[in-house]
Structure 1
Amino acid sequence: MSLDIVIIGLSLSSSWGNGHATTYRALLRGLAEEGHRTLFLERDVPWYADNRDLPEPDFCRLALYHAVADLTGPWAERIRAADAVIIGSYVPEGREVIDAVAALRPRHLAFYDIDTPVTMSLLDEGQEEFLAARQVPLFDLYFSFSGGEVLDHLERVRGARAARALYCSVDPERYLPVPGAPEWDLGYLGTFSPDRQPTLEALLIEPARRMPDRRFVVAGPSYPAEIDWPANVARIEHLPPSDHAAFYSRQRFTLNVTRAAMRRMGWSPSVRLFEAAACATPVISDDWRGLGELLPDGEAICIAHGTEEVVEILGTMGEKARRAIGLAARRRVLAQHTGRARARELAAALRDLRAAAA
């Protein structure tokens, strides 16, 4: 049965400085392929308005709103009529958005937390700009970017009615191997984050210093000017999603770096991890609980705990072994972590809600 879904999320139109856009794009394309109808409501903010790389998606309806009052005014009836309304994490004025939408009494209300461990840390610190602790029990379903023990924490400690893992996913038609010789030995794609920077230093910048004959690259905005980049580390300020597959394919290895809160909770694969794997680019990653369940170490990923391990991988792994790791990761991701697979999981959870209500 086809579903009519409204999603209020951080961004679909712009991938500038966020990983939400590509996550939503893969999921919403998958929903369209499964025959569902989706309206995505995005707050019109200047930093995304100047950097929209998908202003008119062909797989859903995208509409911009200017204030929380728009949701209870022009969009109120559409929200009430939908089979389900999903509010995403990091939505501007998220706490106010949740209260306003909940007051409209939609048929089913869900939350999609693409930043679950970070959200939990913010709540621990009393920071409730995007979600208040009192609001967690308001949702019929709490979809979490993180799985494993995090789901029990959400229900037992935070009071979620029902928590379900909804990992990020990848669009296999847009993330696939691109022919060509590798240009860099190791690369990284990600916006600057203070808590990721020490890991980036240890697993890419220091290896670059120790291997001056090798080439490295870091793509992403907001890195401070005072960072001392080695001469053999190329910098790309912003890379639109249309260039991601070619970027990954030009690396012998790509680096996955996880935010500190996500490492602590575990079971938090980033969208970049799935995207790189779909391109058959071997991934070197920091370690966290649950990673080996998704991509086994030494078979479909290389887990590194420090600079020396990265230097050893780059310096000693043969081409046959390198390719085998990349292809094994690609097979696993295409089997379990595409946007369409994730859309089926989402739709099944929403149908269960409808059945229970009926």
Structure 2
Amino acid sequence: MRIVLFCHSLQSCWNHGNAHFLRGIARELLARGHDVRVHEPVDGWSRLNLVRDHGEEALLGWRRAYPELSSESYAGLPDLDAALDGADLVLVHEWNPPELVAAIGQKRLAGGRFVLLFHDTHHRTVSDPEAIRRFVLDGYDGVLAFGACLAERYRAAGWAKQVRVWHEAADTRLFRPLPGVEKTGDLVWIGNWGDDERSEELEAFLTEPVRALGLAATVYGVRYPETALDALEEAGIAYRGWLPNHEAPLAFARHRVTVHVPRRPYVEALPGIPTIRVFEALACGIPLVSAPWRDTEGLFPEGSFLLARDGAEMARHLRAILHDADLRAGLIATGLAAIRERHSCAHRVDELLAIHAGIAGIEKEPGLELRPCA
């Protein structure tokens, strides 16, 4: 089957977590013998910022880490007749310009013999609904939303004919335990600043607990303002800047614990949607402590990670993990089992192929019912 993907970038993960999942999905499809074609703009902001900060050589890393993947860059709009030729399934990620989204929909309406799906992995439906309204989804067979609450937003607004829940997941070919790596630090956090969407939470659940416990901690990420960098330095946290995603498993392996600090829009308006780093960290077998979020869809069994209601509880959990070998072992085992049984890119490809088969075979049947938000 030929699968065509239009995304913001496969080449760059600079402040672009969507690349993590899409790379994993693409390589899983290729491993199963499918023909995967990826198209991205040559001037996407993620790629431009990566090259600005680290030079063209920064793009070599992902090519070495994913030798089977390739991506065709285009300027302006791609040649859609050529790009869609022979396609069976087309995925259009929501970090594409509205004119491209609409143009692909028109190709489907004009007789395109492919299943066309819009893929949303962001909170703009609640934080910037006007941006979503600019997308014309005429011709699209459905929407893939990375959480039930996001899917309900699409359905309630009448933005799509069918909406399916398609969570992100870990690329377990890359994200796996590395037991032979020496531990050189206590805590690692891999995450970008996030435009003040979690600045208070990072202070309460990261810098203050690290300071209070005197931990050897490292932070990776981009777009940190000077005030944030000063706060990290004052807490004794080493800031290492951008980390290529394919190097994250080694960073996890070198530390004893990590934390999850979700962005405020997800906690308040789109519960049940964790960052992809939760899946990736658990897949690497590192104990995790999370700031508050509601697992409304029951993605993770109890004991996959610890939940801290405030900064003081975060500090208590971190201290316990660092000093209790049995607690660490239990968290690692439960978290790994959750990923291996339910949340790998292989699981998501199974779901994607089933969705494609259902739409291609029985297009006139109604969409799947969504589970309600709790």
TM-score (norm 1): 0.89
SS, match of residue 81 in structure 1: coil
Q: How does 1:274-313 map to 2 (within 5 A)?
A: 274-290=279-295, 293-297=298-302, 299-313=303-317
Which of residues 115, 135, 142 is equivalent to 1:108?
115
Conserved in 1, the CA contact under 8 Å of 2:219 and 2:238? yes
Query: Which amino acid in the other structure matches residue 295 of structure 2?
Result: G
Deviation at 1:16, TM superposition (A): 1.6
Which of residues 338, 343, 346 is equivalent to 1:332?
338
Please say if 1:54 is aligned against 2:62. Answer: yes
Please say if 1:88 is aligned against 2:102. Answer: no
The C-alpha deviation readout for 1:165-197, integer Å capped at 9, x for no partner, is: 111121212111122343332221011111022
Query: Which amino acid in the other structure matches residue 269 of structure 1?
Result: P
**2:144 matched residue in structure 1:** 143
User: How far, CA to CA, are the matches of 2:174 and 2:5 in structure 1?
Assistant: 22
Query: Which amino acid in the other structure matches residue 326 of structure 1?
Result: I
**2:211 matched residue in structure 1:** 209
340-349 or 287-296, which moves further after superposition? 287-296
Conserved in 1, the CA contact under 8 Å of 2:7 and 2:92? yes
SS, match of residue 226 in structure 1: helix
**1:220 matched residue in structure 2:** 221
Which of residues 321, 343, 353 is equivalent to 2:327?
321
Decide whether aligned partners of structure 1 residues 322 and 109 sit closer, same or farther in structure 2, where only a CA change above 3 A counts.
same
Deviation at 1:225, TM superposition (A): 1.4
Please say if 1:196 is aligned against 2:198. Answer: yes
**2:76 matched residue in structure 1:** 67
Give aligned pairs, total: 341
User: How far, CA to CA, are the matches of 2:141 and 2:340 in structure 1?
Assistant: 30
TM-score (norm 2): 0.85
Deviation at 1:289, TM superposition (A): 2.5
User: How far, CA to CA, are the matches of 1:209 and 1:309 in structure 2?
Assistant: 14
**1:271 matched residue in structure 2:** 276
**1:119 matched residue in structure 2:** 125
Conserved in 2, the CA contact under 8 Å of 1:185 and 1:215? yes
Deviation at 1:253, TM superposition (A): 1.4
Which of residues 76, 80, 91 is equivalent to 2:81?
76
Deviation at 1:84, TM superposition (A): 2.1
**2:25 matched residue in structure 1:** 27
Please say if 1:355 is aligned against 2:358. Answer: no
- The root-mean-square deviation of aligned C-alpha atoms, in Å, is 2.1
Query: Which amino acid in the other structure matches residue 153 of structure 2?
Result: H
Conserved in 2, the CA contact under 8 Å of 1:169 and 1:339? yes
Query: Which amino acid in the other structure matches residue 289 of structure 1?
Result: R
Decide whether aligned partners of structure 1 residues 197 and 296 sit closer, same or farther in structure 2, where only a CA change above 3 A counts.
farther
Which segments of 5 or more consecutive residues in structure 1 lack a partner in the other structure?
A: none
The C-alpha deviation readout for 1:83-117, integer Å capped at 9, x for no partner, is: 122110222xx2111112112223322111111x3
Deviation at 1:137, TM superposition (A): 5.6
Query: Which amino acid in the other structure matches residue 207 of structure 1?
Result: P
Deviation at 1:12, TM superposition (A): 0.6
Conserved in 2, the CA contact under 8 Å of 1:285 and 1:301? yes
User: How far, CA to CA, are the matches of 2:288 and 2:296 in structure 1?
Assistant: 12
Deviation at 1:345, TM superposition (A): 0.7
Which of residues 10, 13, 25 is equivalent to 1:12?
10
Query: Which amino acid in the other structure matches residue 6 of structure 1?
Result: V
Conserved in 2, the CA contact under 8 Å of 1:4 and 1:84? yes
Conserved in 2, the CA contact under 8 Å of 1:6 and 1:79? yes
User: How far, CA to CA, are the matches of 2:357 and 2:68 in structure 1?
Assistant: 21
284-293 or 172-181, which moves further after superposition? 284-293
The C-alpha deviation readout for 1:12-69, integer Å capped at 9, x for no partner, is: 111122111111111111111222221110111233554423248544542111112x
**2:372 matched residue in structure 1:** none
User: How far, CA to CA, are the matches of 2:297 and 2:363 in structure 1?
Assistant: 37
Query: Which amino acid in the other structure matches residue 63 of structure 1?
Result: E
Runs of 4 or more above 6 Å deviation: none
The C-alpha deviation readout for 1:303-323, integer Å capped at 9, x for no partner, is: 112110111112234121112
Query: Which amino acid in the other structure matches residue 13 of structure 2?
Result: S
